[in-house]
Amino acid sequence: MKFAKLDFKILQHLHKMEINKINRWWKGLDVATNFPFIRDRLVECYFWMMGAYFEPHYAVARAFVTKVTCLLSILDDIYDAYGTYEELEMFTKAVQRWDTNCIDQLPDYMKLWYSEALNVYNDMEDLMSKEGKSYRVQLAIEAVYMIFTFCS
């Protein structure tokens, strides 16, 4: 029983550190100012990923997928509640290209979302390339591309 309690406390500490790190990333985006129209779903997204990647050694995957899910939640609100048709057409084409050269044509809130999405995927690619698994990030980028192709 002592080991079970100790294991629980260690795991709880790991989860606190993870959510703290993800929360700093979220606050760094200054979501309340830059995206005042969105639903703040950070904790919900983290708990969702806890259900999918519950084992401690999946900490990196949990953090990455939580960030991606949060960005997708913002994206959903951009498309459903805020963006104009013309802005959304430009935005869709820019994301389909997955190129930073397209960013200058977008409104500020879309620029922020797009640059942050690129940053999250680039950070993950750097981390995965150290392990020789960078192909996984490319598959994730292709999944985003497929979402935008399907939606357009």
pLDDT for the residue 151: 58
CA distance 145 to 86: 20
Q: Which of 71, 49, 70, 51 is nearest to 60 (CA)?
A: 49
Mean of the pLDDT values across residues 83-106? 85
pLDDT band for position 73 (50/70/90)?
very high
The CATH number of the domain covering residues in 2-151: 1.10.600.10
Q: What is the pTM of this model?
A: 0.86
CA distance 32 to 99: 27
Q: Domain spans of the chain?
A: 2-151
